[in-house]
Structure 1
Amino acid sequence: MIRPLWHLALGYCALVWGATFYIVKEAVTVVDPVAMVAYRFLLAALLLLPVVLLPFARASLRDSRTLRCGAILGAFLGTSYLTQTVGLKYTSAANSGFITGLFVIFVPLFLLIFLRRPLSATQWVACGVAVLGLWLLTGGGLAFNLGDGLTVLTAMAYAGQVLAADRFARTDANPLVLAFHQFWIIGVGSLALSLLLARPLDVRTEGALWAILLLTLLPTLSAFVIQLFAQRHVPAMTATMIFLLEPVFAALFAWTAGGERFSAIPAAGGALIVVAMAWTEWTKPREPEPLTDETPTAEAAPTRVTDP
């Protein structure tokens, strides 16, 4: 597949992730948020299971190192989805989309804190612009609520997932198997948390049942599988730039299909966050091009998954 088609594939991921914020917002009024995460990821794992049992994926499925990589990615992604889904009970879908997008700011911050990679002056300025945008988005801090706080944790967890995925990128681990491990680990973990906390597991309306099915098929199963394949061919900087469309789509769908009230000041705050995210990405050092189908075999040999 040529590069522009992989770009379109990642654009599809950003679209469905952003477009379904308001659907989750409505669904968690009748389904417990933790149960919602459990159902969509368990069902996604169940649908993917017949594929990963086929001969071409079976060896990777038995690889303990691939399982450990999937577990690490699942832990970060599961934390991200749990905090985001619970947070949607208390904040708007538009706010949730924009605040989640702050993961692009947390990535360089975590690189500085944990890997001692210093930030450039432009990255520090971008962080300040993002904080200003968050302040405007949440009503100058006066309207900052539990949902907004949980969604900041979402952005932090997703940044951790991005850094972990960067470590495991372009290895010989089968992307379908990595996705499968992420799905069942998140699903089982969320279900266990529901049982431990004695959370309700019932789905009280037919509409919520259809919402779970939609969330399983589009933003969970299709988008995460596509992402793992596409990022083998697209540089991380380019992929992240495409993902900046997610909060934009989240706000647009929340203000239109979701029926949320449009307000100029929060919208300006969201725009500043997008500007900061774009600025952070554009000022990164240029990354080497990923391997392509035309790369000579000796250079294109995949790297073996290392013990995390």
Structure 2
Amino acid sequence: MKPPKSGAARNGSRRRTAGKYWTPRAKREAWVFLALALPNIVLIAFFTYRPLFANMYYSTLDWTLGSSVATAVGWGNYVEFFTSSDASTVLGITAIFTIATVGGAMFLGLLVAIALNAKVKGQGFARSAVFAPYVLSGVGVGLVWLFIFDPVYGVLSWILRGFGASSPQWINDPKLALVMVIIVYVWKNLGYCAVIYLAGLQSMPKDLMEAASLDGAGSFRRFMSITLPLLSPTTFFILITSLLSSLQAFDIIRIMTRTGNGTNTLIFESYLQAFSTYNRAGYSAAISVVLFVLLLLLTGAQLRFVERKVHYS
């Protein structure tokens, strides 16, 4: 039986092992990696993490935008938000808007993807037309749809008057205003979901589908038992990206409902508190931190629990 090595011998062995792998070539590759990655790391730290931590600090202040004086209030802004009557309203509107837009865009996107997967004439044009709204400016989309929904001069009101009906007050009614922006946001984003689902559908193994068809499985049975499970990685990816996008939706809401008439999501309420008549920068920062924590928790929950139901093979 060999005697145990002394501490000096063990340290020498470690240095020899490290020297074996830390070759001149490895050192050159490390310097190249550092030279390529360091500028990006610095930019991310300066333009992402620095504003994030600065915003967290501002959320502890009672600060009026533009004022040179600010008072430290600690958790006061958070306590005020969660104890106010507006908190339940804002969180409820955020939940309704997010669930409706994410669910609607994913469901309609899947149906559109199934239709676009069929080999018909004009397939390429149809795919481009479906995806086009997603790449359009949110400001432009909001202005066009605002004209359509206008209860006096809008295209929809003109069509309804042709049938002897009056146009709903989409802009003035808080409930209808929320429905209006949900419709527009789903219309704009379903093309994104459709294209991603289409890519998933086209990567399906044809031999598996043919085998199920030979076994007597109908189209609906094949879709439920084979297509949907195989699309679970695609669905998981779309769910995460669409959820993050919907929780941060701002441009369309801002253009179509300038004062947040029933459309006060967390991000829009933060904007209104900072840049409207209130000018409460500290309180606005606290609301944005709440949104950041919510995004973090939802993403972590999806990665922890939803991914378990994803089939990658």
Report which of the two structures shows the higher radius of gyration computed on alpha carbons.
Answer: 2
What TM-score does the superposition give when structure 2 sets the normalisation length?
0.29
What TM-score does the superposition give when structure 1 sets the normalisation length?
0.29
Q: Larger RCO: Structure 1 or Structure 2 (Cα < 8 Å, ≥ 6 residues apart)?
A: 1
